[in-house]
Amino acid sequence: MGTILENIERFARDPELLDIAEKVESGGRLSFEDGMTILNTSDLNTVGLLADYAKRKREGDRVYFVVNRHVNPTNICAISCKFCAFAKTAKSADAYELNSERILSLLNEELREVHIVGGLHPDWPFEHYLDIVRMIKERYPAVHVKAYTAVEIDWFSDISGLSHEEVLLAMKEAGVDALPGGGAEIFSEEVRKKICAPKTQSLQWIDIHRTAHRVGIPSNATILYGHIERYDHVVDHFDRLRNLQDETGGFFAFIPVLFQPENTRMSELKPRSGSYDLKVHALARLYLDNFPHIKAYWITLGEKAAQVALSYGCDDADGTILREKIIHDAGATSEVGHTRDFFTRMIKDAGYTPVERDALYNVVKIYN
């Protein structure tokens, strides 16, 4: 472990990474400028080496996964974001609403986590969203429910007249164990205006997670990248999250979500490079030094790139998911779900030890 600096001094192609390497080895904190240096460099291997070093210092060779299931109760949404292919109006031929029976039919005893996210339905009352959680907890008391993004929490507050804190307390009471990280998109107000103008603003997203942590609900955070953002927008996003985590300590995982353009109003955008994807994941591990976990989200990266991202600082491969709809509606070419065997093989093939976890990162089984 102690030899990373020596190796980097010998092999790095970009001398600007040497100062960063020293910080990483000594446990120092990356500055905004360091973040920019990492995104600007073409020395991908050195960045990977640093991120893998930081990952191994925390987790050794463990890589987590969870047997989970996504449930999207409805795609009917009161707002329309340019990057989204999932949201529909109630009149659309593709609009759907899942009833209780249908939701329960998607679940089984084996699941450790149910991840719920959906549209902001213009007619469903707040109680209906609570009932979905209660129903799942009643039938499957052992399963963790990771439900409703900050954007949905904000909507529930609008439709119920309750404060964010009151909504979150009601969700906790109904059985919500954690909030998913969606809806963060990219915090830069300038970019947000262009890609998701009607959505909950950055300050509110951050404040809802702050409140969730205060009332004892842990959460995740995402970034939606690979569209019109500049490098400084990415570093700014990481900086705001790192500050919040310093304050609350309530985040478990950070998930870079790669934009998928099909069927969206941003479909003219061309994909960025694979190096950029890997640098965003590596930078997440290096910059977010107070986040316990970084996910390689195979749904958007694709399975192969997600496996490679495990060598670029990621210690979590997310989960079985069956079946993802939001991102597949936008043309993702990954499968809609995978088996436990898939994860153990994928993680072992990458040279790491698979660790099955639950939603709160309790270890279920280590696959030596």
Q: Which of 73, 183, 250, 354 binds ligand V47 (CB under 6 A)?
A: 183
Number of chain positions touching ligand V47 (CB under 6 A): 25
Query: Measured from the CB of residue 19, what is the shortest distance to ligand V47 in angstroms?
Result: 33
**How many angstroms separate the CA atoms of 319 and 341, rounded?**
11
Residue nearest to ligand V47 (CB): 182
Per-residue binding string, ligand V47, 117-146, x by CB under 6 A, is: x-----------------------------
Q: Which of 35, 48, 118, 180 binds ligand V47 (CB under 6 A)?
A: 180
Query: Measured from the CB of residue 151, what is the shortest distance to ligand V47 in angstroms?
Result: 8
Helix (H, G, I), strand (E, B) or coil at 189: helix
Per-residue binding string, ligand V47, 268-307, x by CB under 6 A, is: -----------------------------x--x-------
Query: Measured from the CB of residue 31, what is the shortest distance to ligand V47 in angstroms?
Result: 27
Stretch that binds ligand V47, among 28-36, 162-170, 241-249, 252-260 (CB under 6 A): 252-260
Query: Measured from the CB of residue 182, what is the shortest distance to ligand V47 in angstroms?
Result: 2
279 within 8 A of 318, measured Cβ to Cβ: no
**How many angstroms separate the CA atoms of 314 and 163, rounded?**
35
Closest to 139 in 3D by CA, of 105, 95, 99, 185: 105
Burial class (CB in 10 A: 0-12, 13-18, 19+), 101: exposed
Answer yes or no whether residue 185 interacts with ligand V47 by CB under 6 A: yes
Answer yes or no whether residue 25 interacts with ligand V47 by CB under 6 A: no
**How many angstroms separate the CA atoms of 193 and 190, rounded?**
6
Q: Which of 175, 181, 256, 313 binds ligand V47 (CB under 6 A)?
A: 181
Token couple for 320:
């079985």
- List CB contacts of 306: < 8 A, sequence separation 6 or more: 296, 297, 298, 314, 317, 346
Query: Measured from the CB of residue 90, what is the shortest distance to ligand V47 in angstroms?
Result: 20
Stretch that binds ligand V47, among 98-106, 136-144, 219-227, 271-279 (CB under 6 A): 219-227
77 within 8 A of 88, measured Cβ to Cβ: yes
- For ligand V47, the closer of residues 309 and 330 by Cβ is 330
**How many angstroms separate the CA atoms of 284 and 295, rounded?**
10
- For ligand V47, the closer of residues 124 and 297 by Cβ is 297
212 within 8 A of 179, measured Cβ to Cβ: yes
In 124-265, where does DSSP find H-type helix?
A: 126-139, 150-160, 164-174, 189-195, 202-214, 231-248
**How many angstroms separate the CA atoms of 296 and 307, rounded?**
8
Query: Measured from the CB of residue 169, what is the shortest distance to ligand V47 in angstroms?
Result: 20
Q: Which of 182, 256, 313, 354 binds ligand V47 (CB under 6 A)?
A: 182
Stretch that binds ligand V47, among 163-171, 179-187, 268-276, 279-287 (CB under 6 A): 179-187
Q: Which of residues 60-119 bind ligand V47 (CB under 6 A)?
A: 83-85, 117
Answer yes or no whether residue 320 interacts with ligand V47 by CB under 6 A: no
- List CB contacts of 95: < 8 A, sequence separation 6 or more: 74, 75, 76, 88, 89
Mutual angle of helices 150-160 and 126-139, in 10-degree steps: 120
- What residue ranges bind ligand V47 (CB under 6 A)? 83-85, 117, 149, 180-183, 185, 220, 222, 224, 253, 255, 257, 259-260, 264, 297, 300, 318, 326-327, 330
